[in-house]
Amino acid sequence: MAKCDVTDCEKTAERSLPEEKIADALKKEGLKLAKAKHRSRRANLCKDHYRVIKKHLKKASKIERMRCRVIKKHQKKSSKIERMRL
């Protein structure tokens, strides 16, 4: 069984996530991965750390969705302008 990649964590890993995806979340929590695994680019996380990281991932995706909505609004507005111009 793989172990959690977070420094000083000895728990069994239950999930693995791409390192780049969780990098920000780790930083926010003040966590570090024990070793950079450049080959696999995936970090193993125990149940506890996964829960902590997931919290941040959810928040990020919510912001992403909000950003999409704003962009859509802008697109509508610009198409209206486009029509007015025509």
Q: Is 25 in the site for Zn ion (CB under 5 A)?
A: no
What is 28-52 written as a DSSP string?
Answer: HHT--BSS--TTT-EEEEEHHHHHH
Asked if residue 13 lies in contact with residue 5, where contact means CB atoms within 8 angstroms, the answer is yes
Judged by CB, which is closer to Zn ion: 22, or 83?
22
**Residue 8 Cβ, how far from Zn ion at the closest point, in Å?**
9
Map residues 30-49 to x or -, x wherever contact with Zn ion holds by CB under 5 A.
----------------x--x
Asked if residue 14 lies in contact with residue 45, where contact means CB atoms within 8 angstroms, the answer is yes
Residues that bind Zn ion (CB under 5 A): 4, 6, 9, 11, 46, 49
